[in-house]
Amino acid sequence: MFNLAEEKMKYIQIDIRGSRQAIEPTIAALLEIGITDAVIEDPADIADLLEKKNDYDWDYIDESILELENETPKVTVFVEENEEGRAKLEEIREAVAGLEARAEAGEFGEGIDLGSLDISVKVEDDSEWKDNWKEYFKPAKVGKTIVVKPTWEEYKPASGEKVIEIDPGMAFGTGTHETTSLCIRLMEEYVKPGMKVLDVGCGSGILSVAAALLDASEVLGVEIDPVAVEIAKENIALNGVGNVARAQYGDLTKGIDFKADVIVANLMADLVMMLSEDVAKHLLPGGIYISSGILTEKEVQVADTMRALGFKIMEVKEDGMWCAIVAKL
């Protein structure tokens, strides 16, 4: 994010509180103004976790995580306390203020309630502010066999578990978000040893690494954010799968000369529909198209778009307000 001197410095912590449905629109608005690093605190994730849908989900939960259960959903951004940071704060205020009108226009789907969208600001001294979010990122089992752990946490894998070490930095993708875990669970079903995988919008590279750990023979991750591309490359190297996976800059599949057995795209509904028009050119015969980042209320629209392009819907998985669609030509 920023290069900090060893001595303490001032930073601005900007907290944006709203409903759970406001989280993704808020993140999208931040991305539009060039902010690619934010901390998301969603109490509903804690409630989902406590349900323990599978015996293997968890054995122990840190008490500091449980304390978040009764909090309001929040997106937090940090900027330096200087002229540039204060200007960015005003951009954030304007972007958030415009979300209500965009919601009323139906941009985020029908009946979206964004909540209060309150913004609170505080200035503090802390040379480690950029790493404060790390205390909330713990090892998590996100599939039947795949565990995601941050680089700074210790984890002893159980028999059969495949561990992804990840440092998301300024890129989306820690594995704990429903859209990412949906993709991973479906990849465990459809990615077979020796297959080629194309990861469109690879972010931190987590899905590319997952594909490599699932014994894909070749994996290409494509990402439009040049910072994220570098982070993806680092995470691929960190997990020792550089002989199989690589990441490169690109806008969806434009100009990409690569055909795959499985294409995975964890994007947003509109981008998934846009990508679907071109994805056939990059699928090998019998190939599978896994898409996520789709709000459940847009599931029918996305599925209908795919069917109109000649795809057969094989499977739809839902997790909370999100869904993932598996399609085949």
Distance CA 58, CA 228 (A): 30
Per the document, the length of the chain is 329
Each residue's pLDDT tens digit, 53-92: 554 455 445 565 566 666 789 999 988 888 998 999 999 9
What mean pLDDT comes out for the span 160-177? 71
pLDDT the model gives residue 55: 47
Distance CA 73, CA 118 (A): 11
Architecture label for domain 137-328: 3-Layer(aba) Sandwich (3.40)
| Spans of all domains in the chain | 10-133, 137-328
111: left (phi over 0), alpha (psi -120 to 50) or beta: left
pLDDT the model gives residue 162: 94
Each residue's pLDDT tens digit, 275-286: 998 999 999 999
CATH number of 10-133, picked from 1.20.1460, 3.30.70, 3.40.50, 1.10.10:
3.30.70
**Low-confidence winner among 24-33, 134-143, 199-208 (lowest mean pLDDT):** 134-143
Q: What is the pTM of this model?
A: 0.64
Nearest alpha-carbon partner for 186 in 328, 28, 21: 328
Taking a C-beta distance cutoff of 8 angstroms, is the pair 174, 181 a contact?
Answer: no
Percent of the chain with pLDDT over 90: 51
Which pair of tokens denotes residue 173?
A: 């993708």
Each residue's pLDDT tens digit, 120-134: 998 876 655 556 656
